[in-house]
Structure 1
């Protein structure tokens, strides 16, 4: 009985130690330095590869009907062939992100803007260094035609990004993409 207890204890201890998690980001020093420079100069662009809408019954119905881009599901939409960007140019933002999800409040008459668009100075713009990921967390609030968006973006040293958008009129949505340098002359 004692050996069974010792064996069980060692097995449990091994399981606990084996399942402990550590956060480790794979990147090289050159990419980290390039990200630091882009953030310091505030001139970069994020192009999303996928949108991550909140999977609702309506969105799943649209997905099942085959109305989403090829290779997409109700909770992940492929954006590789869809134009989109989030550009930081000094203190200004230029945002053009497609939206997939449900609008909770009316969009008004003659509103052709179905995506998330903004050009100008955001409110509460903040970029802080994230010690855990060795990257940056960027957050801001933008307002467009009576609708307000709270945006939180994670910038990782391997030049990947994660954008989360919470709207006053729509269900939340996220985007995964890549960070690159941006020149206003392009």
Structure 2
């Protein structure tokens, strides 16, 4: 009987702990995010890059390649200019890439950053139950197609997931803001 009581108390404590950590958005935060998404006019600046951890990245980490505080699975973008901007029907990005590239397009001296600038293709928006948004679209750089998934939260946090045809997926976390504030 004592074991049942212990299990019940632990389960009840876990339930209370999980429900206490649930955050709710204020109506003003939800309205601000709704306006950003409805106007299709915002910019995301990321503070962390989260590449898919591979054996190659782990070897670089073990060799001491990463800065203090960074790892093969989490790299600070502090001081590293980056953005993904959606302005009506266009999208542009300038994001650093950390990870494995599966196929290169030659030795022309181009960098491996993720840069695209053009029309939004297959743009889809879903408002989730927690007042966050999931935005999906296709983008094209000079040599690669990308599936882009963006999660925007009422506290203006963001997550970008990029899946390229020639490289391993990467995630970025950061903040979304109106274009006028970012410039």
Partner residue, 1:114:
112
Partner residue, 2:150:
153
The two structures have a TM-score, normalised by structure 2, of: 0.87
Q: CA 1:78–1:185 in 2, change beyond 3 Å: closer, same or farther? A: closer
Report the CA distance between 1:33 and its aligned residue: 1.5
2:10 is the alignment partner of 1:15: yes
Given candidates 89, 94, 118, the residue that maps to 2:87 is 89
The secondary structure found in structure 1 opposite 2:70 is coil
Whether contact under 8 Å (1:126, 1:138) holds in the other structure is yes
The secondary structure found in structure 1 opposite 2:172 is strand
Whether contact under 8 Å (2:42, 2:178) holds in the other structure is yes
Aligned positions, number: 180
> How big is each residue's C-alpha offset from its partner over 1:121-163, in whole Å with a ceiling of 9 and x where there is no partner?
13211111011x3110011111223422111111000010111
Report the CA distance between 1:34 and its aligned residue: 1.2
Partner residue, 1:55:
53
Given candidates 150, 175, 179, the residue that maps to 2:176 is 179
> How big is each residue's C-alpha offset from its partner over 1:143-186, in whole Å with a ceiling of 9 and x where there is no partner?
22342211111100001011111111111111110111103993
Given candidates 15, 20, 23, the residue that maps to 1:25 is 23
Structure 2 unaligned regions, length at least 5: none
> How big is each residue's C-alpha offset from its partner over 1:33-89, in whole Å with a ceiling of 9 and x where there is no partner?
211111111111110000001112211232344433443111100001101001110
The secondary structure found in structure 1 opposite 2:163 is strand
Considering only aligned residues, what root-mean-square deviation do their CA atoms show, in Å?
2.2
Given candidates 38, 42, 45, the residue that maps to 1:44 is 42
Rg bigger for which structure? Answer: 1
